[in-house]
Chain A
């Protein structure tokens, strides 16, 4: 790392991408992309899934050879198609999913692959001091001798960043770095990034989260369908403008009409088991109750209880006033509970089955879909096609016989919505319903949830995304180590207070 004073900012170009094009068969993944990153600058690349972000990164890092165009690093042309050349030129990639050996120490992970094997031991002392020097300079507190397996996700990401810097990278490419982090960890990461650019590094940040891009970047480049559609200093733009550039049209703002809530539709009393501890909760008709919390604090067990997948060890549940005596998914579907699961490919859909089968789901014994034990394919396929069209599912070329796995994540989620919202459920359990979706699909899912609320359904929205909860929910509770806090009205809820609760403040141990 060559620290250069901040005053030189803007004078030197760190990275120049000039007219890069890449075609995969029919698809023009990158279309004459131009892009520059100055020394000491954080540039964010924003775009929906499939906009060409990943292709561009893979070209920069030498995994793909572009059809046209060139890349310059600190003025020198980069040999394309060679990861080794990219590394040598000072490009470093921090992957979305941290790739570290869990059974090795931090130090070993960092030096792994950088030293010839026969020098490994002699170089350790030197490597340790270099690593510690880097860490203190960036204010990263890293236990060099701890096993990576014992670190939290945020800490592992810091190790990954240090590893890239250790190899002499001066331009860091971070691919969706916040996808796995909690809100406080995101703040820490951004602070680190700012310190890094102050010391003369340059950062290219790939993201689809607007708020984060606004918070940390100096400049934003928006990609859509392989092209740069907007390149602007962050200070002069707004999230609305960026969202519109990403999807190519204005995203209608969420309309959230105030409305009185109806009678209680769901009541949990002291539910324990599967990691839950005495969870009590009421959901009324016409309201959205949000449950915040870091993943792994009992969310999955809560969803399983509500959808009949798990019988609680203690406590009870009432649906529309009736005490639930049997716990099967089948029964809860009959009682009007809709389930929008977190793991849409694992438990929401059956990828190898066709779209009509996935849309049909558990309704196969009902009129008009079945007669004398035979499935009425024509009726089902017609209704499935109509329903999928109504929910704007795309990517199956109009054939409901295509397997569900050919669809993108957003369209798969729409298939689930088409199935679950088909018969006006009285309770909707939505677990991370917009995880991994594009801006457009997120807006669609939010719109559908609000419409269901308008229609009088009770909705339990379990999410790690505080912005989502604060914009949708009427009341918000926090799940921490299996305990649920008393939900508070959204008007009184703040990010800070919720963040502290998510970290465990205010819970009996």
Chain B
């Protein structure tokens, strides 16, 4: 019995890998559920019920998936070009902050233009935030893993300061939160009496657009080449620094959009807990989706389902909902194992 490297990985295997990884993750986490003394089957039943078991559950899962799709896309686009963007969290808040600055009535804008303007501003804020580390990477070879990660804290502290000071809503009874965005800036609800908003359409359209952009355009080609082998790409005549710079604008922009959507579609006003780590979970989503835009959409729905379902599992059985984090992490680890294994073929001799 031997392992042989496959010259070609068939498509069905790349699709099978995440499903297998999810199954293995749930199996391995069942040990943890047993440890808490709860019956595994009931627990997973409650989780699935809570995630997709009813119309309401489904809308909750999809609502939670919206920011994950966008941050996941933002990360995936960058990773595809080997720009290691760990800063989607900061870009998320930069987008939300830009929307707050322009959308709370401080700046006079005609009503129909307000929402497009906020989306554009959020895009630019997120994009420019990632552009700084990308520029440092191309000019001075500064490691972007460090700079993007640390910029998250810079942005969070800035938002924190603004919410305590200049941006604090005087009507918020002293809570550190900004004024709500104007009525005209609110993303419409998709289904009445649910929290699901039009951000879902935006996120899915963004995924399709990124997919087409990567597959069909010369910029997609440049990014593929730079991501696969920057040295060879440079000698192909591809302007590698420029590619990294515009990739940063696109990737950071998508994460910035996530902030705008969460603000204008769901919460309505900026607080410091607008994101429970959507930026970091976006990295997991991007990896689970194998950096493919449509894979990211699927992965975001899966991860959102685990989080929403785990809340309901916690309510029913008293199992800690932090288990959701473990499950998502386990799914990622198993996926890495599976992705490694599908490169080989088992041969019996």
Residues of A at the B interface (CB closer than 8 Å) are: 307, 309, 328-330, 333-334, 339, 341, 346-353, 357, 360-362, 364-365, 370, 373-375, 377, 402-403, 406
| Distance of A361 Cα from B224 Cα, bound (Å) | 12
Whether B217 and A357, one on each chain, are in contact in the complex, defined by CB atoms closer than 8 angstroms, is: no
Chain A residue numbers with a CB within 8 Å of B153 are none
| Distance of A77 Cα from B317 Cα, bound (Å) | 71
Known: A373-B218, A374-B217, A406-B8. A350 touches B228 (CB 8 A): yes
A50 CB → nearest B CB, Å:
14
Known: A374-B217, A375-B218. A307 touches B225 (CB 8 A): no
| Distance of A242 Cα from B238 Cα, bound (Å) | 44
Could you mark each residue 227-262 of chain B with 1 if its beta carbon is under 8 Å from any beta carbon of chain A, else 0? 011011111111100000000000000000000000
8 A-B pairs in the complex with CB atoms less than 8 angstroms apart? A309-B234, A339-B235, A347-B235, A351-B229, A353-B225, A362-B238, A364-B221, A406-B7
Chain A residue numbers with a CB within 8 Å of B224 are 353, 357
Beyond A351-B228, A353-B224, A373-B217, 6 extra complex contacts between A and B, CB < 8 Å: A328-B239, A333-B237, A346-B231, A348-B232, A350-B233, A362-B236
Secondary structure of the B contact surface, majority rule: helix
A397 CB → nearest B CB, Å:
11
Whether A350 and B229, one on each chain, are in contact in the complex, defined by CB atoms closer than 8 angstroms, is: yes
A343 CB → nearest B CB, Å:
9
B267 CB → nearest A CB, Å:
37
Most B CB within 10 A of own CB, among A349, A352, A362, A403 = A362
B216 within 8 Å of A by Cβ? yes
B48 CB → nearest A CB, Å:
37
Chain A residue numbers with a CB within 8 Å of B238 are 330, 362
| Distance of A246 Cα from B218 Cα, bound (Å) | 44
B9 CB → nearest A CB, Å:
10
Cβ-defined partner of A373 (8 Å) among B219, B228, B229, B234: B219
| Distance of A350 Cα from B225 Cα, bound (Å) | 7
Whether A330 and B7, one on each chain, are in contact in the complex, defined by CB atoms closer than 8 angstroms, is: no
Cβ-defined partner of B234 (8 Å) among A329, A352, A360: A329
Most A CB within 10 A of own CB, among B220, B231, B235 = B235
| Distance of A361 Cα from B229 Cα, bound (Å) | 12
Whether B218 and A330, one on each chain, are in contact in the complex, defined by CB atoms closer than 8 angstroms, is: no
Chain B residue numbers with a CB within 8 Å of A364 are 218, 221-222
Whether A341 and B235, one on each chain, are in contact in the complex, defined by CB atoms closer than 8 angstroms, is: yes
Chain B residue numbers with a CB within 8 Å of A333 are 237
Chain B residue numbers with a CB within 8 Å of A362 are 236-238
Nearest-neighbor residue (CB-CB) of B213 within chain A: A373
| Distance of A47 Cα from B221 Cα, bound (Å) | 39
Residues of B at the A interface (CB closer than 8 Å) are: 7-8, 216-222, 224-225, 228-229, 231-239
Known: A364-B218, A375-B221. A352 touches B228 (CB 8 A): yes
Whether A346 and B239, one on each chain, are in contact in the complex, defined by CB atoms closer than 8 angstroms, is: no
A490 CB → nearest B CB, Å:
30
| Distance of A339 Cα from B234 Cα, bound (Å) | 12
B3 CB → nearest A CB, Å:
14
A3 CB → nearest B CB, Å:
42
Whether B218 and A361, one on each chain, are in contact in the complex, defined by CB atoms closer than 8 angstroms, is: no
Cβ-defined partner of B232 (8 Å) among A346, A402, A406: A346
| Distance of A403 Cα from B7 Cα, bound (Å) | 9
| Distance of A169 Cα from B238 Cα, bound (Å) | 54
Whether A357 and B225, one on each chain, are in contact in the complex, defined by CB atoms closer than 8 angstroms, is: yes
A488 CB → nearest B CB, Å:
31
Cβ-defined partner of B236 (8 Å) among A361, A377, A402: A361
Whether A347 and B231, one on each chain, are in contact in the complex, defined by CB atoms closer than 8 angstroms, is: yes
| Distance of A361 Cα from B221 Cα, bound (Å) | 10
Chain B residue numbers with a CB within 8 Å of A330 are 237-239
A420 CB → nearest B CB, Å:
11
Cβ-defined partner of B235 (8 Å) among A307, A357, A377, A406: A307
| Distance of A334 Cα from B232 Cα, bound (Å) | 17
A-B pairs with the 4 shortest C-beta distances? A362-B237, A330-B237, A333-B237, A362-B236
Most A CB within 10 A of own CB, among B8, B220, B221, B239 = B221
| Distance of A352 Cα from B7 Cα, bound (Å) | 11
Chain A residue numbers with a CB within 8 Å of B231 are 346-347
Chain A residue numbers with a CB within 8 Å of B219 are 373
Whether B228 and A353, one on each chain, are in contact in the complex, defined by CB atoms closer than 8 angstroms, is: yes
Whether A375 and B217, one on each chain, are in contact in the complex, defined by CB atoms closer than 8 angstroms, is: yes
| Distance of A364 Cα from B225 Cα, bound (Å) | 12
Chain B residue numbers with a CB within 8 Å of A341 are 235
Chain B residue numbers with a CB within 8 Å of A403 are 8
Known: A353-B224, A374-B217, A406-B7. A347 touches B239 (CB 8 A): no
| Distance of A351 Cα from B228 Cα, bound (Å) | 8
A453 CB → nearest B CB, Å:
23
Known: A346-B231, A373-B217, A375-B217. A329 touches B8 (CB 8 A): no
| Distance of A339 Cα from B232 Cα, bound (Å) | 11
B56 CB → nearest A CB, Å:
43
Known: A373-B217, A375-B218. A329 touches B7 (CB 8 A): no
| Distance of A347 Cα from B228 Cα, bound (Å) | 11
Most B CB within 10 A of own CB, among A350, A365, A403 = A350
A379 CB → nearest B CB, Å:
13
